[in-house]
Structure 1
Amino acid sequence: MKLGSAFLWTTAVGLSAAQNYTRCATPNPPEAQAGELDALVAEDGSSLASLLAQAATVRTYVHVVTSTSRQGRLLTIKQAMNRAYSDMGFTFSLMSTDFAVNNQWAASSLGSSAERAMKTALKRGSYGELDLYFTTDIPNRILGWCYFPVANPSSSELVLDGCVNLADSIPGGTAAPFNLGATAVHEIGHWLGLFHVWNGNSCSGAGDQVADTPIQSTPSYGCDVGKDTCPGGGVDNINNWMDYSDDACMDRFTAGQTSRATTLFNQLRSGR
């Protein structure tokens, strides 16, 4: 599935372009949480066809956070993710967009007090609704992070839920080669319960817990056609949204990822 015009933004934020970014800061979930997600998928037993028939519209709230030194004018916003996630049956319905100028929030990092303060002030959605934060000054050249679903979220987990993305990772931004919108698609994959395709960093074990993504032991960079870190099971998933390839190289989820994501959304997020 193609990214198309996922969150087609035109902006004058003006960050300096560079290629040495870190695609994702989302940590692997604790072992118990990962096991809980895997068990829910294994126990569900629904066919892919029946899961796809349960089409879900995800109410989505967008928050744009910039610092005073990087204020720019957002000219256009278009809906994101609908093409990338259309084969999963998800439609993302943009409910509102807000803008904030706050130096600390714009430079928030994963787990920081600034992240918590930003989300406490701006968050709009419930656990089954998506809050997307586009910030201009994420430190250490990190492109984004998100939070996996849990069965019984604490009050803290409810506040932190949602995805943070570097503003210049959107189409028209300056974070080349990561400026076609794939960061948001990737992070929402985590929000839906998908792991990185090299989860476990090994050629043995369950990997990302999805049967139809060939096992791989390392992330991919650029567009490394033919990369095969675990020979015998198929070449690495360089075109998969849950790898680390350049945006232009990423264009697909597998049927197994679709089944996992829709199952976990229905079990853990829908209606909550």
Structure 2
Amino acid sequence: MAKQDRIDISLAKTPPGVAATAPTLIVDTYFHIIYDPAEPSGNIPTNKLAKQLKALNDAYAPAKIAFNLKNVTRNANKNWTTFETATDDPLEMQMKAKLRKGDYKTLNIYFRPWLDRQGDLGFCDFPKTLTSSVMIQDGCSVLSDTVPGGSTGPFNEGKTAVHEVGHWFGLLHTFTGGCSDKDGDMIDDTPAEAEPAFGCPVGRDSCKKKPGKDPIHNFMDYGDDACLTEFTPGQAVRMRNMWTRFRQQKLPSSTLDRRSK
């Protein structure tokens, strides 16, 4: 799930197809592990993080996007495990101001053992017009036990991070707008879907007057991890367009200097 109140997306619908000659987009990435020092099991082991990175790279490879893990930070801080990510708690800004690395095209994922009372698995910030506060806030929060081998089955194959990073690139849910002709996910090659899919309801067609079955295998739906296997060519184009329009923005160096103090 992404934080919808942080959205700033105005690109038109994107056509399918990334040129075969397009270079692979390399995204520098940082994993930040947040855990309660009284519960060291929340300190995700390196082998599971390696599998999470592989899940990301495997999912985005058809879109010619790859993730270069620059570093992993491990942070024993009980306060950072208890705030509700969905409410923009001041502790979120404190944590990110301390931990965030890189510029606006650098992906920061914060793996936390608890996100909110609703039991959500993840949140992420959409790309938007850049300010210093937007820079600090930017990133994805992912429930720790959704990494491959985690305990949150059937959501423990690393697909939560894949889904949230899709929002980081500017993708909406496949069910955005339901069956509406006017609203939707701004992608032409994802069939309309009335509501999110749970489990893996193969053959479901919730918008019978629209072409195509529901895109239940799409990473931007809500199915079980084992069911989620693809992005469409149109989504690949949109991700690259949003990268060019938003993620390549830069803040003046003086602003960044002030933020880092």
2:201 aligned residue: 224
Gapped regions of structure 1 (runs ≥ 5): 1-23
Structure 1 residue 84: Cα displacement = 0.5
TM-score, length basis structure 1: 0.82
1:270 aligns with 2:248: yes
Question: C-alpha distance in 2, partners of 1:266/1:25?
Answer: 21
- SS of the residue corresponding to residue 183 of structure 1 reads helix
Question: C-alpha distance in 1, partners of 2:163/2:227?
Answer: 13
Structure 1 residue 194: Cα displacement = 0.3
Structure 1 residue 54: Cα displacement = 3.1
Question: C-alpha distance in 2, partners of 1:176/1:212?
Answer: 30
* Cα RMSD (Å): 2.0
2:121 aligned residue: 143
- SS of the residue corresponding to residue 116 of structure 1 reads helix
Question: C-alpha distance in 2, partners of 1:240/1:176?
Answer: 18
Question: C-alpha distance in 2, partners of 1:164/1:93?
Answer: 18
Runs of 4+ in 1 over 4 A off after TM superposition: none
Counterpart among 50, 61, 67 of residue 92 in structure 1: 67
User: Percent identity at matched positions?
Assistant: 35
TM-score, length basis structure 2: 0.86
1:57 aligned residue: 26
Question: C-alpha distance in 2, partners of 1:223/1:47?
Answer: 27
- SS of the residue corresponding to residue 69 of structure 1 reads coil
1:69 aligned residue: 38
Relative to structure 1, the CA distance from residue 238 to residue 201 in structure 2 (aligned partners, 3 Å threshold; closer, same or farther) is same
Question: C-alpha distance in 1, partners of 2:160/2:240?
Answer: 20
1:104 aligned residue: 79
Relative to structure 1, the CA distance from residue 66 to residue 169 in structure 2 (aligned partners, 3 Å threshold; closer, same or farther) is same
Counterpart among 148, 160, 165 of residue 142 in structure 2: 165
**Given that residues 182 and 241 in structure 1 are in contact (C-alpha distance below 8 angstroms), is that contact kept between their aligned partners in structure 2?**
yes
2:92 aligned residue: 115
Question: C-alpha distance in 1, partners of 2:62/2:16?
Answer: 17
Structure 1 residue 228: Cα displacement = 1.3
| Letter paired with 1:191 | W
1:198 aligned residue: 175
Gapped regions of structure 2 (runs ≥ 5): 251-261
2:160 aligned residue: 183
1:239 aligned residue: 217
Q: Residue deviations 1:44-87, cap 9 Å, x none?
A: x896216x613211000110001133222524231341111011
* Superposition map of 1:125-144 within 5 A: 125-140=102-117, 141-144=119-122
Question: C-alpha distance in 1, partners of 2:241/2:2?
Answer: 24
Structure 1 residue 175: Cα displacement = 0.6
1:7 aligned residue: none
* Superposition map of 1:13-52 within 5 A: 24-27=1-4, 29-30=6-7, 33-34=8-9, 36=10, 38-39=11-12, 48-49=18-19
Structure 1 residue 172: Cα displacement = 0.9
Counterpart among 148, 155, 159 of residue 132 in structure 2: 155
The count of corresponding residues between Structure 1 and Structure 2 is 240
- SS of the residue corresponding to residue 180 of structure 1 reads coil
Counterpart among 240, 246, 252 of residue 230 in structure 2: 252
